[in-house]
Amino acid sequence: MKTIGVGLVGCGTVGSGLVRNLSEANRLLQQRLGVSLELRAAAVRDPSKQRADLPVSPVGDWKSVISNPAVQIVVELLGGTTESLEVAKAAFAAAKPLITANKALLAEKGSELIPLAQQARVPIYFEASVAGGIPVLKALREGLVANQLLGIHGIINGTCNYILSRMAEEGSDFADALRQAKELGYAEADDRLDVDGIDAAHKAAILCLLGYGFLPPFAKIPIEGIRKLEAQDVSFARQLGYVLKLLAVVRPVGPDRVEVRVAPTLIPARHPMGSIHGVFNAVSLVGNLSGPVQFTGRGAGPDATSSALLADLGEAARHLRDQSPGPVLSAGDGKRRLLEPGESVGRFYVRFEVRDQPGVLAQIAGIFGTEKIGISSVLQPEGHGADSVPLVFLLEPAKESALQKAVAAVQKLPLNRSPARILRVEDLA
């Protein structure tokens, strides 16, 4: 049985989980794939730190790991996009397959990284970059390869899902739910990547790459986090039969455009994705042949992520043993482009704070009518004080540019009391 040498660059929480689970998983890989893995070198930021589980003496210079002739596969777990990009380039130059969990690297630097890998004929494996232990990328690459994808929807940030679950179940406001998430270790001290939707957008870009062969320019993806959500919107959504989730959406629009966005979104409470609570993730793929397929599981954590890393290690080792090239990754043929936000068509939830007086509903409905936007439901809660009241509209499908024009007109009226809250609605039919 051939033994494949592994070099690890970065050994934080995820790397430690990989090392801890490697020996047990290796026995299964030997039985099932006929390959054996051995960790032969590791680079860490602080080599003096005690690491009881690490079977090799760590070094501070990652270049020595990649140049080590005993290392045949490089695992990059540094995070970020600067040093990790240099690690990837060095692995390509050494003709050694790269395994990474680094979603930011792929989403933000993929247009530079992928051509370099193609030129060097070196495969990149990145199952762990999206949804932790859920094998959704392998499903896209292999299981649904004969399908035309009609859409991808994902709850792919566990921190945000935990916060929204607490807001829905306990009536907490955002600040209290975030505080609880930090106390339990579900949110970092610097919560911006999670709460502001950036982490989910990185993953959405990768889903777009595998689903549609198109890596969207990351800076142009519309991203909205959950920081501005209020408890009353979570409550109103429930009254309308929906739950609020931070949802990533990737879908084709016509023959040459792809819509990619991340935003807090109302989804039907009765839909299977509406029951995904806490730190769990879910990804729904809709194929023209398969129909809807949903994956659910732990989207983060050292064990779930190491599951994906070890699967990639097994695949890479098998390709090396068989002297096969491994998966070829392409950034696309340049024929597709990202849908502009104003061109997006969908349903919307809009909440106004308005003066409590007769005729308000008629005035606002008239403005929506002028923009040819239909109204499917109206919610007029009572008991919010004499001066102003919330007025909630659930709208029929409309172009986003038309909606923004209508909302701007309403907000110019004397009856309007504060900026409108606009949320997406996805029926997931």
Q: How confident is the model at residue 417 (pLDDT cuts 50, 70, 90)?
A: confident
Catalytic residue selected from 96, 103, 109, 203:
203
Amino acid, res. 365: A
pLDDT at residue 384 in the model: 61
**Cα separation, 35 vs 32, whole angstroms:** 8
Question: Where do the structural domains in the chain lie, given as residue ranges?
Answer: 2-132+302-322, 144-298, 341-425
Q: Two tokens at 101?
A: 């969990």
Give the CA angle between residues 276, 282, 284 to the nearest 5°. Answer: 120
Q: How far apart are CA 317 and CA 26, in angstroms?
A: 11
| Nearest by Cα to 57 from 65, 313, 139, 135 | 65
Separation CA 214–CA 257 (nearest Å): 10
With a pLDDT cut of 70, the percent of the chain lying above it is 98
Quick: pLDDT tens for 306-355: 999 999 999 999 999 988 888 777 766 678 899 998 899 999 999 999 98
Closest by Cα among 309, 240, 308, 234 to 277:
234
Contact (Cβ atoms closer than 8 angstroms) between residue 257 and residue 417: no
- How crowded is residue 271: how many other Cβ atoms within 10 Å of its Cβ? 19
Please, which residues have CB within 8 angstroms of residue 82's CB and are 6 or more apart in sequence? none
Amino acid letter, 85: L
What fold characterizes domain 341-425?
Alpha-Beta Plaits (3.30.70)
pLDDT over 70 at 62, yes or no: yes
Q: Find the helix or strand (DSSP H, E) in which 316 lies.
A: helix 302-322
Q: State whether CATH 3.40.50.300 applies to domain 144-298.
A: no
Angle between helices 83-93 and 103-120 (to 10 degrees): 20
pLDDT, tens digit, for every residue of 350-391? 999 998 888 899 999 999 999 999 999 999 887 666 678 899
- Per-residue pLDDT reduced to its tens digit, 103-118: 999 999 999 999 999 9
Q: Report whether pLDDT(72) > 70.
A: yes
CB-neighbour burial class of residue 28 (10 A; exposed 0-12, middle 13-18, buried 19+): exposed
Q: Is 63 a catalytic residue?
A: no
Average pLDDT taken over every residue of the chain: 93
Q: What is the pLDDT of residue 94?
A: 97
pTM of the model: 0.94
DSSP calls for 193-250: HHHTSHHHHHHHHHHHHHHHS----GGGS-B--STT--HHHHHHHHHTTEEEEEEEEE
Cβ-contact 417, 256 below 8 angstroms: no
Classified as helix, coil or strand, 148 is coil
Window from 43-52, 63-72, 176-185, 366-375 with minimum mean pLDDT: 43-52
Instruction: Place 229 in a pLDDT band, splitting at 50, 70 and 90.
Output: very high
* CA–CA gap between residue 189 and residue 132 (Å, rounded): 21
pLDDT tops 90 at residue 48: no
417 phi and psi angles, rounded to 5 deg:
-110, -25
CATH class of 2-132+302-322: alpha beta
